[in-house]
Structure 1
Amino acid sequence: MTTEYQTQSELIRALQEELADKKRELALQRRAFEQVLQSRSWRLTCRLRWVAKQLRTIKDAVSGLLGKSQPVDSGAMIEAAPISPAAAMPVSDPKKLFTSLSRTSFESFLVSEAVLELPSSPDPEVSIILVLFNRSELTFACLRSIAETYSEKIEVIIVDNASSDETRLLLDRLRGARIIRNRENRNFLLAVNQAAEHARGQYLLLLNNDAQLLPGSLRAALATLRGRPDIGAVGGKIILLDGTLQEAGSIVWRDGSCLGYGRGDTPFAPSYMFRRDVDYCSGAFLLTPRSLWEQLGGFDESFTPAYYEETDYCMRLWQRGYRVVYEPGAAVLHYEFASSQSVTGATGLQSAHQLVFAARHRSALDKREPPGIGRAIHARMRHNGRRVLFLDDQPPHPWLGSGYPRAHAMLRAFLKHGCFVTLYPLFLFDEEWSKVYSDIPRDVEVMIGAGPDKLEPFLRNRGGYYDFIIVSRPHNMERFQPILAAHPEWFDKTRVVYDAEALFAHRQAGRRKVSGNPMSPRELEGALRAEIRLAAGADCVVAVSEQDGAAFKRHGIKNVCIIGHSVAPAPTSSAFEERTGFLFVGAVHEEESPNADSLVWFLTEVFPRIQEKLGAAAPLTIAGVNRSQKIRELAGPSVRITGPLADLTSLYAGARVFIAPTRYAAGIPHKVHEAAARTTGVDRPGTGHRRYRRRFCRTLCRGLLGSRQVGKASRCGPSSHHHRMLAGHVREKGL
């Protein structure tokens, strides 16, 4: 009877633990959904979503009659087959609408007595080259975009190829541009070379007259090119008038044919938001150093009148050891084929010039991918290093805490060793791209919005693409493991690494202990076995500490390596007299987290006693994500809650004592590492990794570090705050 009762009790406790975990996951998803609805991007794109829906309705109706081309599926990453220019032409309605609006705007300009002022620097950094042949209304829209969005030292050089429409009237009303009027149509290629001879800028920007610069584009392209002598050209995102992609960098296949990567897809899908080296970028927007242009002799006249000239130019850059880079922050809105006499004629020129191009670059093309829908993912970037897929809850912003500083350091280590990295966040949440890449390097692909439901099709369509898959945290391994077991053929050439991050069973045991319901040794062993069982099928397990690594080995996992934290010393220079108060830095994502528990305990049991002794001389600052209502309610006048901050230097420089009152946790607390590196005195009552207790026990009060007793903590807090020699000793030992 007793044995049966114990078994039932253990089952009830296990179910309670599982229920608590599900509640936490539900709270995270609910919070993510609320963030989507409240986000600035959701509100701002309300009308855009409505317009896009109407355009899709029109496009679907017309496509049903004309035949619909298949776009790239950004969610599952199914690349599209090469599309001929004729089939790729968007439906006419967006072009007609844009032409009508541009014509109305241009005619209003002509009727007025206004002039169009273009930027004209006496010492230009960039020379923008425009070649015109009719379509004055589109040229006017292009010139207005330059006048409205520029922020650099530029000059505009215009070559008019004997236009027969109102282009002459437009040019007469321009100020600031350098204008070359040809008596005959020299066509695009020769006119570009002609304009470049007059350029004074350090860089040339080739811009089509049927394209409009979008805000920040030139600045983003310049930021990528400046100070990088190994880059020969930078291109951007080319967006069609219906709001879909024309290309996000382009692919050259082995036979010399080309594919605009992403054609037909949404421009802001994750696959087009990261910087990468590509075969070539469209001449509709192409930034290149003038010195390189002159060394290569500009566009090769073999491709006169047009088509394949920029492809050939970029290929010659690669042959000379220069990179061609796609910059997602640069973008233009493109009409496409505006100056062509007919789509059929343009297609014929492309076919003829493909043969010339293929013959000229045969040896280089032999190393490229053969054309095919399944190879676009492999051909979309030029990269010879290892490819890594990183599965985690969300992008590892260091300010999130909870193991993300370590994940962020691992990410940068991969990049430093020449790896390409795709981050796949398994939590669905809304985060603006500027925030995603605020501290994530721009050459990392971040699959925002894919989530757990799209993981399996994503892995299927990228089977064999990655050399390594890093799965972080137990609940993510639970999602990944069934896919690995069901489809081992997808991972034949891939090594799977389980980054345990920490053994969470220890955290559960600690939480149970402080709540007065401790785990029995049998329960703890069962929880450890269940968690460690997740490593089955992984080629390697990464643990955060020697203690966790030993636990994995003890349970039969042989290939275990240790990756802990690495924090560079960054001592603050403030004198002891210039500092005051206590500091806590850490993320509180939910009420039941270790950080929430530690702060509630400290604010309830310890801090009031410290204030009795020190009064206003002992303020407490709490920095980091804080979603705990209880902590906000407990924070009195002497407690300041800052939320997440980009730079914590001033807080570390102004505090005398850093507190880490952890009562239970798993892994190694990064906050203690960082505080030691900043050389703020660290008081860490409670439990945690024994190595830290050994490090600081001779420097700080033994009672404070080795005990959860309120009395000892409240006695040692004031001494740590007021003892100058102790503070100096802690700073020295911390470094």
Structure 2
Amino acid sequence: MQPDRAVRRDRPIVSVIIPTVSQATHLSACLAALQGTTDAAVGELDIVVVLNGATAAVRDVARATPGIRLVDSAVNRGFAGGCRLGMRASTAPLVVFLNDDVVVTPGWLAPLLETVASIPQAAAVGVRVLDVSGVVQEIGSVIWSDGSTRPLGRGQPSASSAWRWRRRVDYCSACALLVRRAAWDEVGGFDEGYHPAYYEDVDFGLALAAAGHEVWVDPRSTVVHAESASSSLPFKQFLFERQRARLVARWGAALTSCLAPPRRPEEIDAVCRAAVDRLAGPGPRVLLLDDRVPRHGLGSGFDRMADALLDLAASGARVRCLPTQAPGEYVPPLAAAGVSVVTADSAAQLQEHLAASDVVIASRPNNAALLMAAREQLAPEARPVLIYDAEALYHRRLERQAALSDPALGLLLRAQAAEWLDRERLIAGCSDAVVCVSHDEAAFFRHHGAGAVHVVTPWLRQPSLTDATLRGRADIGFVAGWMAGAGSPNADALEWFAGEVLPRVARVLPWIRLRVTGTLPEPLRRLEGPRLRVEGFVNDLAGFYRQLRVAVAPIRFGAGVKLKTVEALQYGVPVVATGVGAEGLDEDVAAAITVHDDPEPFAEALVRLLTDAGAWRAQRTAIEQVMATHRPAAGAWPAVLATVLTERERADVHHAL
């Protein structure tokens, strides 16, 4: 080994080691991407390029690249040997091994650093690897008992949510792998016996496990890999078989704890899931059925369910989400928490998911009905616990809408309300537990036979009080979701407010403006104008609320606690709401809200808060007093889960439809 060039690095956090032989074009793209994605939290990367018996073209590319260090070996020492040379030339406590045919993407490093910082036992962390066409090559891999391997997610399109959650795995490809130096030193690093390439990362994963360490994959980090750019397919297949034999000779005893490879193609998914599950820990297996994958900013109750999933995952539960009305969606905060997204294209697949669960949470009555029908097809001993998440009473929402509608539509809505009432009564009797957002709705479920009913007020995790100052606050805000379309409670609320309330406010305050989040359904876009501004999707809600003088919740029909009301209070913004917009909250919380159902007093309350600094500060003080005693209960859903499982152990009761 001959040091070729030195570049000063003052205590680097991360070194990137790139062995290279003959792919000059790939190396150039690799280095350009690395230097173009510097992470501010890490600073400048310590990039070490190992000229591993490299060609003249490769040497020219490396020497023309500023800001890197070169290590020169006259002979090709193989991938493991090249990595070991680079390791000896670096000093950072964290090292990323990178193939020269890999291109990193923006933001690739931060998730890996977060994972090693939050999971002490994670000695190595891999990434999501795509090929040059955008198809998944690997999101972590499985080792089978015969020493063969299976890359998870292989062949999936880039947008797929399959296997796209942070988790422990048997090993990850060393084409892009972050490693703790201390763990590397402890197990001796990559074994040069796997010369020239392949299986050194498999061997390394087994060595780490034998020493009590773990390998994780974080799919929030993505790289693009020109797979096998440095070797032909026949030679690669020859090496795979030779290196697998070496692995089995060394790790035969350890491989007995791995699962046997699937024998038929139709078994692959199930056996891969089982292989991953064996590493997932002992926490209860929780499956959520909801219309779509919950995430913050969607509205329609999905914010509170996203919080619930994060809390359950943090408590050690193994959480999966099955969307029933929309395709599976990748949500980075859920993926980081280890929440997986699964699909069921048939009743049989849904039953498989149920049988692989200890607890199933059904949110919304349509999903509860789907779940109960599938659950009844399982043997009693195989049925999971059923928790119904009553984010609102749907029959009550329809009854209220009927009261505001013309006679013909009202008659139809009342008939639908009666059907939903029957469904919700059935759910009450068939669920092992029900979670409600208010005591009022909890009373309904108790009355109709629900055994265990829990009330979890939907205080959200993310919001916190904005500055208690009037400077920069001028507007009225309506934070709403529009997925339910032009016939939704939010649409009716905006129509009523824009037609009945806003003109009354504007007569006194001609400069006033209502700012509405989201994208309005087509029939409502006629409302846009100088006094009604549509913001689109707002990424920074805290910044948005910081500009509001008042928030409104002019809901005239609906049920449950309105998250827009709760959220505005948590951000410290005074709220004017209808009775429906403020319902379901504890008395002391409701006292911090101005409530009017008629447009004239509603408008007068807004004018007072918009012009009277004393009135605004008095309501802000009332909100602060409420927030001092009402905070998000991070352990609320885990406590419900623990209680339900304890009750299940005491009495194994299965409800029949």
Q: TM-score, normalization: structure 2?
A: 0.79
- Match of 1:233? 124
Which residue of the partner structure matches residue 129 of structure 1?
A: 17
Give the letter for the 2:500 counterpart.
Answer: E
1:39 corresponds to: none
Amino acid paired to 2:569: A
* Structure 1 residue identity aligned to 2:47: E
User: Match for 1:413: what amino acid?
Assistant: D
Question: How many corresponding residue pairs?
Answer: 593
- 2:607 is matched with which residue? 718
User: Structure 1, residues 265-285: CA drift from partner, whole Å, max 9, x if none?
Assistant: 445432233222211112222
Amino acid at match of 1:375: V
Q: Distance in 2 between matches of 1:357 and 1:287?
A: 24
**Structure 2 counterparts to residues 426-505 of structure 1, below 5 A:** 426-428=324-326, 436-437=331-332, 440-445=334-339, 447=341, 454=345, 456=347, 458-462=349-353, 464-485=355-376, 487-489=377-379, 492=382, 494-505=384-395
Q: 1:462 to 1:661 in 2, by over 3 A?
A: closer
- Hey, what's the Cα distance between the residues in 1 that align with 2:464 and 2:489? 27
Once residues 536 and 542 of structure 1 are traced to their aligned partners in structure 2, the CA distance between those partners, rounded to angstroms, is 14
Answer whether contact 1:270 1:447 (CA < 8 A) is retained.
yes
Q: Give, in whole Å, the separation in 1 of the partners of 2:93 and 2:46.
A: 10
- Change in Cα spacing, 1:578 to 1:254, as seen in structure 2 (3 Å) is same
Which residue identity does 2:455 align to in structure 1?
I
Runs of 5+ consecutive residues of structure 2 not aligned to the other structure: 39-44, 263-267, 627-657
Deviation at 1:530, TM superposition (A): 3.0
- 1:174 aligns with 62
1:329-348 maps to which residues of 2 (within 5 A)?
Answer: 329-336=221-228, 338-339=230-231, 342-343=235-236, 345-348=238-241
Change (3 A) 1:139 1:323: farther
The CA deviation at 1:516 is: 5.2
Q: What is the aligned partner in structure 2 of residue 146 from structure 1? A: 31
1:379 is aligned to 2:275: yes
- Is this contact kept in 1: 2:71–2:85, CA < 8 A? no
Compared CA separation, residues 389 and 350, structure 1 to 2 (3 A): same
Q: Deviations over 1:292-324 (max 9, x none)?
A: 323332224565665543223223333444332
> What residue is the counterpart of 1:415 in the other structure?
313
Q: 1:369 to 1:545 in 2, by over 3 A?
A: farther
Summarize the Cα distance change of 1:250–1:664 in structure 2 as closer, same or farther, 3 Å threshold.
Answer: same
Counterparts of 1:330 and 1:699, CA distance in 2:
46
User: Residue 225 of structure 1: CA displacement?
Assistant: 5.1
Residue 555 to residue 172, structure 1, CA distance change in 2 (3 Å) = closer
Map 1:312-331 onto structure 2 (within 5 A). 312-328=203-219, 329-331=221-223
Contact 1:271 1:445 in 2 (8 A): no
CA contact (8 A) 2:328 2:341 kept: no
For residues 232-631 of structure 1, the aligned pairs below 5 Å read: 232-239=123-130, 244-254=135-145, 256-300=147-191, 307-328=198-219, 329-336=221-228, 338-339=230-231, 342-343=235-236, 345-359=238-252, 362=253, 365-372=255-262, 373=268, 374-380=270-276, 382-384=279-281, 385-428=283-326, 436-437=331-332, 440-445=334-339, 447=341, 454=345, 456=347, 458-462=349-353, 464-485=355-376, 487-489=377-379, 492=382, 494-515=384-405, 517=407, 527-534=420-427, 537-567=430-460, 570-576=464-470, 579-589=473-483, 590-612=485-507, 614-616=508-510, 619-631=512-524
Letter in 2 for 1:483: A
- Contact preservation (8 Å) 2:402, 2:414: no
- C-alpha separation between the residues in 2 aligned to 1:199 and 1:338? 25
SS at match of 1:147: helix
2:218–2:336 CA contact under 8 A, matched in 1: no
Q: Is the 8 A contact 2:287 2:354 kept in 1?
A: no
Cα distance between partner residues in 1 of 2:541 and 2:107: 32
1-side partners of 2:586 and 2:430: how far apart? 35
Q: Is the 8 A contact 1:679 1:730 kept in 2?
A: no
Stretch of structure 1 that moved more, 642-651 or 459-468: 459-468
Output one character per residue of 1:44-87: Cα deviation in whole Å (capped at 9) or x when no partner: xxxxxxxxxxxxxxxxxxxxxxxxxxxxxxxxxxxxxxxxxxxx
- When residues 511 and 320 of structure 1 are mapped into structure 2, their CA distance, relative to the original with a 3 A threshold, is same
Q: Is the 8 A contact 2:363 2:388 kept in 1?
A: yes
Q: Are 1:194 and 2:85 an aligned pair?
A: yes
Residue 602 of structure 2 aligns to a residue in which SS?
helix
How far did 1:507 drift?
A: 0.5
* 1:232/1:490 CA distance change after superposition, 3 Å: farther
- Checking the alignment, whether the CA contact within 8 Å between 2:115 and 2:218 is kept in structure 1 is no
Q: Secondary structure at the match of 1:277?
A: strand
Q: 1:203 to 1:603 in 2, by over 3 A?
A: same
* Amino acid in the other structure paired with 1:129: I
The code of the aligned residue for 2:95 comes to L
What TM-score, normalized by structure 1, do the two folds share? 0.71
Aligned with residue 106 of structure 2, among 216, 219, 231: 216
CA drift of 1:218 comes to 4.9
State how far apart, in whole Å, the 2-side matches of 1:629 and 1:347 are: 58
- How far apart are residue 129 of structure 1 and its match? 3.5
Residue 107 of structure 1 aligns with which residue? Answer: none
Match of 2:649 in 1: none
Q: CA deviation at 1:691?
A: 4.8
Structure 1 gaps, min length 5: 1-116
CA 1:527 to 1:332, structure 2 compared with 1: closer, same or farther past 3 Å?
A: closer
Pair 287,595 (structure 1): closer, same or farther in 2 beyond 3 Å: same
Residue identity opposite 1:389 in structure 2: L
1:477 is paired with a residue whose SS is helix
Per-residue Cα deviation, 1:702-722 (whole angstroms, up to 9, x for no partner): xx53xx333333444333444
Aligned equivalents of 1:298 and 1:277: distance in 2? 20
CA root-mean-square deviation: 3.6
Greater displacement, 332-341 / 367-376? 332-341
Q: CA deviation at 1:454?
A: 1.4
CA distance in 2, matches of 1:642, 1:319: 54
Give the Cα–Cα distance (whole angstroms) in 1 for the partners of residues 467 and 572 of structure 2: 9
Give the superposition deviation at 1:383: 1.3
